[in-house]
Amino acid sequence: MLTFSYARTEITLIVLVGGAATAVGAYWLHGWALIPLLLTLALLSFYRDPPRRPPPDDDLILAPADGKVVEVTRGVGGDDGGGSVLRIMIFLAVHNVHVNRSPCAGRVTEVTHRRGEFVNALKADADVRNECHQITLTPRPPLPGPIGVRQIAGVLARRIVCTARTGDELHAGQRFGMIKLGSRTEVCLPEDARWQVCVTVGDRVKAGRTVLARFDSGARKEGV
């Protein structure tokens, strides 16, 4: 399944050019036509969008992107200065699915875009230097909010697609955008002792399927 919603132009161009190159290669070069065919399939695979069925529980934070967890930090300051957060960062390699999905059900209260650089997404300061889009969600109970999801550009990711708009109601695992080529996606949760983090650095995750954290609403809040 391909993500025509976010990359109709790119997919159409790849099919037309790749198909023409393969046809010409087959007519003139015979077996060498396999090269443009494989290149076409490889490019199309970048825009794949496999179906995902999220877990049914309403106390979960799901991965917003496919990739590898590169940071899990508690008690760090949020970018907006609104207090400490639990931050989980995912690095998306070129071969990963790049469609972003909502980590939980909730209402979009803000969508912001920050211009920036396009340094390698593997660099530690890429999250503060690079161009990004962020959506802020007010989640459905029992999850506390606000919850931020940030799409961060990389050295090759020069286009971020974000279709979420203020006022939208998203369900857990719902598609809301795409980052084209290698990049990062970040989730920021309001710091609370009741978050049970379910991943560690190095784990591979799937958008809309892998549980990043669970909120234990039955536990006492730290300091209460």
Domain ranges of the chain: 4-46, 60-215
Residues assigned a catalytic role? 183
Q: Which fold has domain 60-215?
A: Glucose Permease (Domain IIA) (2.70.70)
User: How far is 25 from 56, CA to CA, in rounded Å?
Assistant: 49
pLDDT reported for residue 198: 96
Q: What are the tens digits of pLDDT across the range 138-195?
A: 999 999 989 999 998 766 656 788 999 999 999 999 999 988 766 889 999 999 999 9
CB 136 within 8 A of CB 109: yes
**Cβ-Cβ contacts under 8 Å for 45 (sequence gap 6 or more):** 95
Q: Which position has the higher pLDDT, 25 or 216?
A: 216
pLDDT of residue 222: 46
How far is the C-alpha of 143 from the C-alpha of 215, rounded, in Å?
7
**pLDDT digits 0-9 by tens, 121-143:** 666 666 676 778 899 999 999 99
Cross-strand bridge partners of residue 179: 160
